[in-house]
Amino acid sequence: MTEIIQKVKNLSIGFKSKKGEEILILRNISTNIKKGETVGIVGESGSGKSTLALAMMGYVKHGLYTIGGECEFNSSNLLKMKNRDLEKIRGRKIAMIPQNAGQALTPNLKIGYQIDEALKLHSDLKEEEREQKISELLNKVRLPSPETIALRYPHELSGGQQQRVAVAMALAGTPDLLLLDEPTTGLDVTTQAHVLELLNFIAKDTGTSMVYVSHDLGAIAQVSDRIIVMYSGEIVLEGPSRDILKKPIHPYTYGLLKSIPKLSLAGLPQSMPGSQPQPGTMQRGCSFFDRCDFSEEKCKSNSPQLEYLEELNTSVRCFNHKSLMNDSQVNQTVNKIKTSLQDKEILNISEVSISYAKQNLLDQVLNRISDDNPTVKDININIKKGETIALVGESGSGKSTILKSIAGLLRTKGGVIKFDQKRNLPSDLKERDPNDLRIIQLIFQNPDESLNPNHTVEEIIAQPLKLYFGLKGEELKKNIKELLQKVRLGEFYMSRYPRQLSGGEKQRVAVARAFAAKPDIILCDEVTSALDVSVQAAVLNLLQQLKEDFGTTYIFVSHDLAVVRAISDRVAVLYQGRLCEVGPSKDVYQFPSHPYTEVLLGAVLEPDPDIKPKLVAEDIVEEKPPQKGCSFQGRCSRILGDICKNEIPPWQITNSGNSIRCHIPLKELQKDQIN
């Protein structure tokens, strides 16, 4: 048996509520981390996974305290250790890679200094040796020109680079155990795949044990040997990675896996009802009882214990795991999306370009925008009534920018946006009449910020109804109730404030508000990114249902390609504000033809240990689109030469109606798909 490096025993952490009750964040957690293994801790927000990871370093956040149990490292309990002794373990024996490196690097200190600080604390190297070591570390995490990076401040690096610096900093003390708290969550798909590959390499190269905390089963699947699934502060399932992902024997994990959209499957995944109970609201019995498809009478009053199954080397907290064992192959069934596509085009975007360049005084006087290389350029998309079209691309691809321009929130530099083939929508919001504003509604990414915290749900939904239709009194109330019913929220939600709702419920209110205006087009800006996976599926299903009921057209922006696959009829791939490929989802996903589409789809992480991401291009961050030629020339692995650098590629149209903007002839682009 391999050596155990960290032993968590009956750990409970919690806080005192205002009423003096003890509220548990972690409930009686026990697990072991062995030398050299990578353990994935997965759970949704509020499951206690980050608290657990921090406790493994002997760190408990301000306001929380240890109620019982211990975290044993080298046979001493970290949670009882003095700070002076902890300082010798943190960074040297156990190191942390934080979720958001941009926030976790001290803003006033140079990168080199911050790594040097760790070296000074945890090694006996002399100054010159340390300098060399810094370069070595930065090299190891594959950062270009380490010497110059070391002299920069954190804000001068891109998100992916910051994350790599955080990895280098953690490696500086050559720790035995690395704790990773959602290390790739804020990154682009391609960057995320590259960082994960780097972490895998480091784990193999140094033999370091890792604890990888994430809500993303796709990322967990790529790195872990063993997976711990957490639900409302408890371990509900723990076992070898492959078994858990392929044959989950706990209903929560089973439902979670089913609710994740897959690239290979069109259609909406099944959603899990309800949401995770808040800490302190736990009832007697199984905490998953309310949402469970397999529950029985005894689950309501008795809490199942974590049971170790020798033959599977798995621990599970469920009375019913045996029945799940028989048919738990995750055979994903999806709700096929019905397309109510009509031939009529509802929105024509032609030759649109948008610039973020600041106007100088002369331009302001002449009321013009001068920028020969605008952020977004040459956008031509015709959107049919009842269609769901998705704009995809990495951050900086201009997808949200285009959305803002359609909504009128951002002036275009040129081009025309025509509604219903009749009306040219003015680019300036002030020139749009109330009806222009009504026909296009927006749903934002983060309902916490898009809902006014001082308004009740009733007031929030009433606003568009009053504004556009002048409804009052009883009729207004009736309409609000109908809308709430449509988004599956009960009438009693009317008097609630946003803070009293869960993330999923808030987004439902935002959806209801958008539909209140009876719009023709709804712009969805990353509407599910802030939600937990199990809630995401429910919101996607709701959006689809409403679309079928009302015949609305969706313009859907997301960085999550699997979500886009699930909901959209057509996809437009953007790079650096230029279109690369537009076509039916089926074709774009099954036969990715544009080199950039291949890169994007290759980097998607699936919750399946057998599907590895394909890393085609480097994850360089480009600040600005190139002056001339193809927008993707800087990262393209199939670049032909000067023609790509100098000439804007032509549109090529395939038999299935897929338009691709590339210099490589169609035949060659398609030949690749067969291999």
Q: Using CB under 8 A as the criterion, which residues of the chain lie in contact with another protein when the complex forms?
A: 54, 57, 59, 61-62, 83-84, 86-92, 95-96, 98-100, 103-109, 117-118, 121-122, 153, 155-156, 166, 169, 173, 356, 396, 623
CB of 351 to another protein, least distance (A): 23
Least Cβ distance, residue 505 to another protein (angstroms): 28
The residue among 356 and 469 lying less far from another protein, judged by its C-beta, is 356
Of residues 213 and 660, the one with the C-beta less far from another protein = 213
Dihedrals φ, ψ of 655, to 5°? -60, -35
CB of 410 vs another protein, minimal distance in Å: 13
Q: How far is the CB of 119 from another protein (least distance, A)?
A: 11
CA contacts within 13 A on the Cβ side of 442: 20
Helical segments of 440-519, H only: 447-450, 457-469, 473-486, 503-516
C-beta closer to another protein: residue 179 or 440: 179
Minimum CB–partner distance for residue 599 and another protein (Å): 22
DSSP H or E run through 166: helix 159-171
Give me the residues paired with residue 570 across strands. Answer: 389, 584
* 108 versus 454: smaller Cβ distance to another protein: 108
- Longest CA–CA separation in the chain, Å: 78
**Smaller CB separation from another protein, 195 or 286:** 195
**Residue 153 or 468: which CB sits closer to another protein?**
153
Instruction: Give the nearer residue to another protein in terms of CB position, either 115 or 202.
Output: 115
Which candidate, 265, 259, 253, places its Cα nearest to that of 537?
259
Contact residues for 237 (Cβ-Cβ < 8 A; gap 6+): 227, 228, 229, 244, 248, 249, 250, 252, 253, 314, 315, 316, 317
Instruction: Please state, in angstroms and as integers, the Cα–Cα distance from residue 69 to each residue in 28, 44, 78, 453, following that order.
Output: 8, 23, 11, 39
Find the shortest distance in angstroms from Cβ 91 to another protein.
3
Q: Closer to another protein by CB, 83 or 627: give it.
A: 83
| C-alpha–C-alpha distance, residues 250 and 588, integer Å | 35
Q: Cβ 22 to another protein, closest distance in Å?
A: 19
Looking at the Cβ atoms of 95 and 521, the one nearer to another protein is: 95
φ/ψ of residue 374, rounded to 5: -70, 160
Nearest-CA neighbor of 662 among 570, 584, 599, 586? 599
Q: CB of 398 within 8 A of CB of 580? A: no
- Closer Cβ to another protein, 41 or 330, answer by number: 41
268-269 and 334-335 as β-strands: parallel, antiparallel, unpaired?
Answer: antiparallel
CA separation for the pair 361, 341 (Å, rounded): 47
Q: 3-class SS at 391?
A: strand
Which helix H or strand E contains 246, and what residues bound it? helix 241-246
- Which DSSP string do the residues of 26-39 spell out, in sequence order? EEEEEEEEETT-EE
Give 145's Cβ-side CA count (13 Å radius).
5
CB nearer another protein, residue 520 or residue 526: 526
CB contact at 8 A, 161 and 101: no
Q: How far is the CB of 418 from another protein (least distance, A)?
A: 28
Q: Which is nearer to another protein, 105 or 196 (CB)?
A: 105
Q: Least Å distance between CB 178 and another protein?
A: 12
**Chain centroid to CA 79: how far?**
32
Kindly state the smallest distance separating residue 57's Cβ from another protein, in Å: 6
CB of 282 to another protein, least distance (A): 27
CA-CA-CA-CA dihedral for 37, 43, 45, 51, to nearest 10: -40
**Pick from 13, 123, 147, 5: nearest CA to 68:** 13
Quote the tokens at residue 57.
Answer: 């370093």
Neighbours of 290 (CB within 10 A): 16
Min dist CB 112 to another protein, Å, is: 13
